[in-house]
Amino acid sequence: MMNSPPPAERRRFPRSRVLLAGKICYGDQQTISIDCTVRGLSPIGATVRILATQALPAQFILMLVASGVAHEARVVWRRGEFLGLSLGEAKDLKGPVDDRLKAVRRLWVAVAPL
């Protein structure tokens, strides 16, 4: 039996394997948040792990807790507790933010490591 070659990588940027704490923020003024674990990351995408039963909207804000960065995120695929996300431009939560990210910044200030 011949081994078939691995499937071709379709991503423009390979995802680095990581283990980072994240928060998914959504709802009116991004005031609803759930914990997630970021398992893969590239400049334009991420793989995150959440509770398999958690319902989510198709678009939300992904906050990376340790770095204080937030991204607009869109769900591209979901397999059980894993989500593949398309990420927008990184927004730094350490400085001033636009109105859409104010609640996310307040949450980051409350949970960020010192």
* pLDDT for the residue 22: 97
CATH fold for domain 16-111: Thrombin, subunit H (2.40.10)
Give the model confidence (pLDDT) of 57-70 as tens digits. 999 999 999 999 99
**13 pLDDT tier (thresholds 50, 70, 90):** low
Mark 24-33 as b/e (b = at least 16 C-beta within 10 Å).
bbbeeebeeb
Domain boundaries, the chain: 16-111
Q: 15 versus 106: which is more confidently predicted?
A: 106
